[in-house]
């Protein structure tokens, strides 16, 4: 396990670079390899991160190519057309499906069996594409899912209730997109139900799901893209995949019977460890949340059928 590398495909873009930087700063692996369609850009990003680590270096970052990938490496895919202001993630689908298929074919060309983490949008559909194209076992292929959305929800609640976000038990689940939904009804702070926590008011969570959805669009409108937050999320996911003990994040992976759904990829509470990803099937959902999950599954399934 100590020789396990992190390989980031699409490292020339801001998301890939931010992910590489976050992983280097947190020392989640000993070696990071950057791949990009522009080898010069990959080299430059690697050199810049290495320079940043020069005063306290514990991670080697370098540019490379697909031949560097071996079994059990963690491959993070950030490549693809970026989301434009006013554009939904699903509108990115047609162009990014072709990019994803080409990347996965290159990852598997030497028959290596890595763990694949998809970041590119629309992440749920592209994770499905990556799984089917790779032929890998489903526990080895996942996307970041609604982990970033969940981070936004926790940040929102933490700011308004003046608590540490680590103490908040709440998720955004489903599609990483406009059909996502929250578990706000059963949210807790520590072991205290959210609705009973000092300072809580109904206005605090009014339209909270739309507020969280809109946050990404607002960031894109102001700075053209989001990358710091998702970069940190990638570092947490990669770190979890390096541990023997399980960590729970709402990543997305193939659903096969869990929650009454089948053959779709959605963000659901899942365990991550050195064994890969496994959906946590017993997470309690209210009737409203189950209806929202079914709606989200229908949205993603329709998008998957459109590319079949």
Residue 216 has a pLDDT of: 87
Residue 34 pairs in a beta bridge with 8, 63
* b/e sequence 275-299, b meaning 16+ C-beta within 10 Å: ebbbbeeebebeeebeebbeebbeb
- The reply to whether 295 belongs to the active site is no
Q: How many CB atoms lie within 10 A of CB 112?
A: 17
Residue 43 has a pLDDT of: 98
Query: Whole-angstrom Cα distance, residue 232 to residue 67?
Result: 27
63, burial (CB in 10 Å: exposed 0-12, middle 13-18, buried 19+): buried
Q: Is the pLDDT of residue 143 over 80?
A: yes
Query: Are 117 and 142 a contacting pair, CB within 8 Å?
Result: yes
* CA 128 remoteness from chain centre: 13
Query: Are 145 and 124 a contacting pair, CB within 8 Å?
Result: yes
pLDDT digits (tens, 9 = 90+) for 60-114: 999 999 999 999 999 999 998 877 777 776 777 888 999 999 999 999 999 999 9
Q: Is the pLDDT of residue 2 over 60?
A: no
Residue 85 has a pLDDT of: 76
Q: Please identify which of the residues 139, 156, 176, 295 carries the catalytic annotation.
A: 176
Q: What is the average pLDDT across 204-212?
A: 93
Q: Is the pLDDT of residue 236 over 60?
A: yes
Q: At a CB cut-off of 8 Å and minimum separation 6, what does 291 contact?
A: none
Query: Whole-angstrom Cα distance, residue 257 to residue 261?
Result: 5
Q: What is the average pLDDT across 47-63?
A: 92
Which has the higher per-residue pLDDT, 80 or 128? 128
Query: Whole-angstrom Cα distance, residue 166 to residue 148?
Result: 14
pLDDT digits (tens, 9 = 90+) for 238-288: 999 999 999 999 999 999 999 999 999 999 999 999 999 999 998 999 999
Least confident of 41-45, 133-137, 232-236, 281-285: 281-285
pLDDT digits (tens, 9 = 90+) for 153-195: 999 999 999 999 999 999 999 999 999 999 999 999 999 999 9
Which has the higher per-residue pLDDT, 40 or 82? 40
The mean of the pLDDT values for the chain is: 95
Residue 1 has a pLDDT of: 44
Percent of the chain with pLDDT over 90: 89
The two tokens of residue 95 are 């162009």
Which has the higher per-residue pLDDT, 281 or 6? 6
Query: Whole-angstrom Cα distance, residue 223 to residue 283?
Result: 36
This prediction has a pTM of 0.95
Q: At a CB cut-off of 8 Å and minimum separation 6, what does 273 contact?
A: 240, 241, 243, 244, 245, 246, 247
Residue 77 pairs in a beta bridge with 9, 118
Q: How many CB atoms lie within 10 A of CB 99?
A: 20
Q: How many CB atoms lie within 10 A of CB 185?
A: 15
């Amino acid at each position: 396990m100590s020789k396990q590398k992190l390989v980031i495909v699409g490292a020339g873009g801001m998301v890939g670079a931010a992910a590489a930087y976050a992983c280097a700063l947190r020392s989640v692996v000993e070696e990071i390899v950057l791949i990009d369609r522009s080898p010069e850009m990959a080299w430059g990003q690697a050199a810049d991160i290495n320079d940043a680590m020069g005063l306290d270096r514990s991670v080697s970052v370098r540019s490379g190519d697909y031949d560097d990938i071996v079994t059990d490496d963690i491959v993070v895919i950030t490549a693809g057309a970026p989301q434009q202001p006013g554009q939904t993630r699903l509108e990115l689908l047609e162009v990014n499906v072709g990019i994803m298929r080409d990347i996965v074919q290159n990852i598997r060309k030497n028959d290596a069996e890595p763990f694949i983490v998809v970041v590119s949008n629309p992440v749920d559909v592209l994770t499905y594409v990556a799984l089917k194209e790779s032929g890998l076992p489903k526990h080895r292929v996942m996307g970041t899912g609604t982990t970033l959305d969940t981070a936004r929800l926790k940040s929102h609640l933490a700011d308004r209730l003046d608590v540490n976000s680590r103490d908040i038990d709440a998720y955004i689940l489903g599609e990483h997109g406009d059909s996502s939904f929250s578990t706000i009804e059963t949210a807790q702070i520590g072991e205290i139900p959210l609705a009973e926590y000092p300072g809580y008011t109904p206005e605090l969570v009014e339209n909270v799901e739309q507020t969280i959805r809109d946050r990404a669009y607002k960031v894109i409108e102001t700075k053209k893209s989001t990358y710091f937050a998702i970069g940190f999320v990638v570092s947490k996911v990669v770190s979890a995949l390096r541990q023997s003990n399980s960590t729970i994040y709402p990543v997305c992976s193939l659903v096969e019977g869990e929650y009454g759904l089948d053959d779709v990829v959605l963000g659901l509470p899942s365990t991550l460890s050195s064994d890969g990803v496994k959906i946590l099937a017993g997470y309690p959902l209210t009737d409203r949340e189950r209806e929202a999950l079914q709606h989200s599954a229908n949205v993603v399934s329709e998008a998957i059928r459109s590319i079949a």
